[in-house]
Amino acid sequence: MNPVSSELAPLWHSLLMIGVYSLVGVLIAIAGYKLFDLSTPGDLHKEIVEKGNVAAAIVGAAIIIGVCIIVAASIAG
């Protein structure tokens, strides 16, 4: 067996896991934002994109950051 490939195997596995956890984290953050948008009156996405409401964008960003903090804490253990 090639000694270089045996040394790099844990690195590739770690990089793969980073990619998987990143993808899962982003998907959960998007789902959290959508769930918040569905559970509140009005359409937050429409307010941000079509009307350019800065206050709604700040609320949306706060929701995404909050969900990301929770996801990061759960992944970290």
pLDDT by residue (tens digit) across 44-61?
989 999 999 999 999 999
Query: Nearest-5° angle of CA 71, CA 42, CA 37?
Result: 10
Number of structural domains in the chain = 1
In a domain, 2, yes or no: no
In a domain? residue 1: no
Tell me if residue 22 falls in helix, strand or coil.
Answer: helix
In a domain, 3, yes or no: no
Which domain covers residue 22, as residue numbers?
8-76
- The three-point CA angle 7-13-17 to 5° equals 155
Domain annotation covers residue 71: yes
Q: Mean pLDDT score of the chain, rounded to an integer?
A: 87
* pTM higher than 0.85: no
